[in-house]
Chains A and B, each alone.
Chain A
Amino acid sequence: MRRLGQSGEGPWTYILLTLILIPFLFPLAWMLLSSLKTQVQNTAFPPIWVFTPTLNNYREVFIRNPFFTFTLNSLIVAAGSTGLALLLGLPGAYAVARFKQSGIALAILTARMAPGIAYLIPWFILFTKMKMIDTYSALILTHLIVALPLVLWVMIGFFEDVPGELIEAGRIDGCSHFSAFLRIALPLVKPGIVATAILGFIFSWNNFLFSLIIAGFKTRTLPIAVYNFLSYEEINWGGLTAAATIITLPVLILSLFIQKHIVRGLTFGALKG
């Protein structure tokens, strides 16, 4: 809506923007600042704003903890669950959009309302019986509980934007349903696939609840490692915020690539609880 009589850009617009951004950026900036301070600087009150930054906290985090292993675990689980979700979800989303299967979409929305623990308890008991606790497969499967509905939900929207005539034209040319999907629809939604993959990756990377219970010593992911830090490190704020920065930075950077699609992904919800 372009409200009449309202000024366009001017210095006030940018001052307003800055004022709005400050509170939203502050905690993240504070995290970064604290990770560059020594313990003495971190526990000073009133807080110190100007100081000589140190990278010691980061060095400590990597020396004292197998942080590379945790990162690798997070990568394996996020890539595995997102990849599997795309493989299963893309044809499904295509069919829902093309053949108007709105029932499935409704089922996904209902599933989204159930609390995560409702999925976790049965799977936890089952995985325990099957001796699958602390395996990548179990973790990937539980993360799929978030990733698959996400892929379906977001991709249905992208496939709906593909003009039906294009597919029809392909069909008349003799394309099978499968090759119409593979060679006509998929290339057209490529940006959507990239956005969805990044979203799925972020959700899995950030997942706390499922990993807390299903991951173990071998498969511990970054959020659990950072959570454990809370008890290992007392309130070593420099170390804690360094770890927090390491885990947050990749998702912040990734999110910048998909800022246009992120709202749709997030209204699907950060199925976090």
Chain B
Amino acid sequence: MRTRWLCGFLFGVLAVAVAWAAIGEAAQFNWQQFKGTQLRVMLNKHPWQIAIEPHLKEFEALTGMKLVVEVYPEDQFRAKTSVELQSGSGSIDVFMTMPAQEGLKYLRAGWYQPVDEYLKDASITSPDYNWNDFMEVGRSAMTVDGRVIGPPIQLETNQLMYRKDVFQKYNVKVPTTLDELEAAAKALNGKAMTDEGQNGYGFVARGKRAAATSIFSGYLYAMGSAWLTASREPAFNSDEGVKAFDLYGRLLRLYGPPGSENNHWYEASSIMGQGKAAMYTEFDSISAFVEDPEKSKVKGKIGYVMFPKGPGGKPGTMATVWGLGIPKSSKSPKAAWLFLQWATNKEQVLAITAERAVQGGRTSVWNDPKAKVKMNPELAEALIQGLKVGNSNWNPAVVAVPEVRDAVGAAIVTSIQGGDVKAAVNKAAADTKRIMAETEKK
């Protein structure tokens, strides 16, 4: 009887406290100012999208707005959004965007509604939003030509994933440089590594034309090359660049699974998940797949380290940043801005990090021990170290990204096949130059 009374009392106190907090917040900021507005949200099938989806109802309850959410796989997502933005039809209000991939094109075409002004406007930006809480790498990736496109929603880096059990069994040192990576791939290739004792491959990664370029960028920068020079000329056909193409192709050709030249991340992760590869270089969100107990036989056996360094200790870490943007054609850009804020405020980022280990890029969340319960500690460590040095140029910063990716990807495939790498890279550079001339004329 006493306990029940106590419980009731505590509940009462709690309810009053919550109500008071709500009133307090409402007094500070009016979340309901666009009540009744409908927002059309275009999302890419992605770990962040999977994490945020169960929370979307909370946004509708908080603001009285309605969300219409559409989800597409990545290639189609890009095609659909660019088509709709181009038509200026004005029905998208929020979309996921990756400025490293499309920022320049979208900004130049006038498709983005920059949010710098919104951030300064106290009537539509909650005082506790705290833009500077986002890590520097996230903020800079979301800034194109000096304009803030929107908040980052997920940060990831390319990492080296390796089979801890296999490395231990064969007494191989975990690579920290590209030379050691190749030595380890050679040493482990053909060794028994599956549960049944079958042999596996030393190394696996994407090899499919355009898809491979994102992973290859790590090798390119670690070798000391880059996509473009400061004057926007192709730079990847330098001697260092050719070495990088050569190395990537050699790793897959000599120590990788047969047919690598057609492997996207789905095939590569599946080979890793079956326990048939000792090492895998990929962006870290892939851990959701290789650690999935339903699909993977190697859950818990994978170690994560930063991407190996190149000659002279040059880092090959790439930081990719997904963010949210508002199209200029949106009829309710300010209402959309409320969604952007809500989806990236401290509570939301904390919730999705804790539930799904999605790294949202807020320093305060990162330092909160509650956030890291689901995150592999090694992965987290490699990520936080990587974000300090990572650059976001995992794609050449051009307007016609898909076309240039295909041109560069062709050289990667040639290298995997053991063809004339130098000629292929020079051809890719010439193609890139031509494509840029065609698509970037003012």
Interface residues in chain A, defined as those with a beta carbon under 8 Å from any beta carbon in chain B: 39, 43, 128-129, 131, 133, 216-218, 228, 230-236
Q: How far is the CB of A11 from chain B (nearest CB, A)?
A: 43
Q: Which of B70, B74, B83, B270 contacts A234 (CB 8 A)?
A: B270
Instruction: Decide if A217 touches B83 in the complex (CB within 8 Å).
Output: no
Instruction: Decide if A235 touches B71 in the complex (CB within 8 Å).
Output: no
Contacts of B123 in A (CB 8 A): none
Instruction: Decide if A236 touches B295 in the complex (CB within 8 Å).
Output: yes
Instruction: Decide if B73 touches A228 in the complex (CB within 8 Å).
Output: yes
Contacts of B71 in A (CB 8 A): 217
Instruction: Decide if B72 touches A217 in the complex (CB within 8 Å).
Output: yes
CA distance A230 to B316 in the complex (A): 30
Instruction: Decide if A232 touches B45 in the complex (CB within 8 Å).
Output: yes
CA distance A189 to B71 in the complex (A): 46
CA distance A131 to B409 in the complex (A): 34
CA distance A238 to B70 in the complex (A): 26
Instruction: Decide if A234 touches B269 in the complex (CB within 8 Å).
Output: yes
Q: Which of A39, A216, A232, A235 contacts B267 (CB 8 A)?
A: A235
Within 8 A of A (CB), among B258-278: 264, 266-267, 269-270, 273-274
Instruction: Decide if B266 touches A234 in the complex (CB within 8 Å).
Output: yes
Q: Please give 9 more A-B residue pairs, beta carbons under 8 A apart, in addition to A133-B83, A228-B76, A232-B45.
A: A128-B84, A129-B87, A131-B87, A216-B80, A228-B72, A228-B73, A231-B73, A231-B264, A236-B295
23 pairs across A/B with beta carbons < 8 Å? Answer: A39-B295, A43-B274, A128-B83, A128-B84, A131-B87, A131-B89, A131-B91, A216-B80, A217-B71, A217-B72, A218-B70, A228-B72, A231-B45, A231-B74, A231-B264, A231-B266, A232-B45, A233-B266, A234-B266, A234-B269, A234-B289, A234-B295, A235-B266
Contacts of A39 in B (CB 8 A): 295
Q: Does B86 contact A (CB under 8 A)?
A: yes
Contacts of A133 in B (CB 8 A): 83-84
Contacts of B270 in A (CB 8 A): 234-235
Contacts of A233 in B (CB 8 A): 266
Within 8 A of A (CB), among B62-101: 70-76, 80, 83-84, 86-87, 89, 91
Contacts of B73 in A (CB 8 A): 228, 231-232
CA distance A218 to B71 in the complex (A): 10
Residue of chain A at shortest CB distance from B86: A128
- Those 5 A-B pairs whose CB atoms lie nearest each other, nearest first: A217-B70, A234-B266, A128-B87, A231-B73, A235-B270
Interface residues in chain B, defined as those with a beta carbon under 8 Å from any beta carbon in chain A: 45, 70-76, 80, 83-84, 86-87, 89, 91, 264, 266-267, 269-270, 273-274, 289, 295
Contacts of B86 in A (CB 8 A): 128
Residue of chain A at shortest CB distance from B196: A44
Q: How far is the CB of B329 from chain A (nearest CB, A)?
A: 11
Q: How far is the CB of B80 from chain A (nearest CB, A)?
A: 7
Which one of A39, A43, A234, A235 has the greatest number of beta carbons of chain B within 10 Å? A234
CA distance A54 to B70 in the complex (A): 32
CA distance A2 to B61 in the complex (A): 78
DSSP majority for the B interface? Answer: helix
Contacts of A131 in B (CB 8 A): 87, 89, 91
Contacts of B76 in A (CB 8 A): 228
CA distance A72 to B274 in the complex (A): 36
Contacts of A235 in B (CB 8 A): 266-267, 270
Q: How far is the CB of A213 from chain B (nearest CB, A)?
A: 8
Q: How far is the CB of A266 from chain B (nearest CB, A)?
A: 30
Contacts of A43 in B (CB 8 A): 274
Residue of chain B at shortest CB distance from A237: B270
Q: How far is the CB of A229 from chain B (nearest CB, A)?
A: 9
CA distance A231 to B265 in the complex (A): 9
Contacts of A128 in B (CB 8 A): 83-84, 86-87, 89
Instruction: Decide if A230 touches B295 in the complex (CB within 8 Å).
Output: no
Instruction: Decide if A230 touches B72 in the complex (CB within 8 Å).
Output: no
Q: Which of A129, A218, A230 contacts B266 (CB 8 A)?
A: A230
CA distance A129 to B86 in the complex (A): 9
Contacts of B45 in A (CB 8 A): 231-232
CA distance A107 to B80 in the complex (A): 34
Contacts of B84 in A (CB 8 A): 128, 133
Residue of chain B at shortest CB distance from A40: B297
Residue of chain B at shortest CB distance from A220: B72
CA distance A217 to B71 in the complex (A): 7
Q: How far is the CB of A210 from chain B (nearest CB, A)?
A: 14
Residue of chain A at shortest CB distance from B83: A128
CA distance A221 to B191 in the complex (A): 45
Q: How far is the CB of A176 from chain B (nearest CB, A)?
A: 47
Contacts of A129 in B (CB 8 A): 87
Q: How far is the CB of A153 from chain B (nearest CB, A)?
A: 33
CA distance A118 to B267 in the complex (A): 33
Q: How far is the CB of A65 from chain B (nearest CB, A)?
A: 11
Contacts of A232 in B (CB 8 A): 45, 73
Contacts of A230 in B (CB 8 A): 266
CA distance A235 to B270 in the complex (A): 7
Contacts of B75 in A (CB 8 A): 231
CA distance A39 to B87 in the complex (A): 43
Contacts of B273 in A (CB 8 A): 234
CA distance A131 to B89 in the complex (A): 6
CA distance A3 to B89 in the complex (A): 67
CA distance A136 to B74 in the complex (A): 23
Contacts of B267 in A (CB 8 A): 234-235
CA distance A136 to B122 in the complex (A): 43
Residue of chain A at shortest CB distance from B40: A217
Q: Which of A216, A231, A236 contacts B70 (CB 8 A)?
A: A216
Residue of chain A at shortest CB distance from B274: A43
CA distance A129 to B72 in the complex (A): 21
CA distance A228 to B75 in the complex (A): 10
Contacts of A217 in B (CB 8 A): 70-72
CA distance A233 to B89 in the complex (A): 32
Contacts of B295 in A (CB 8 A): 39, 234, 236
Residue of chain B at shortest CB distance from A128: B87
Which one of A39, A129, A133, A217 has the greatest number of beta carbons of chain B within 10 Å? A217
Contacts of B74 in A (CB 8 A): 231
Q: How far is the CB of A209 from chain B (nearest CB, A)?
A: 14
Q: How far is the CB of B235 from chain A (nearest CB, A)?
A: 31
Q: How far is the CB of B82 from chain A (nearest CB, A)?
A: 11
CA distance A217 to B70 in the complex (A): 6
Q: How far is the CB of A131 from chain B (nearest CB, A)?
A: 5
CA distance A263 to B20 in the complex (A): 75
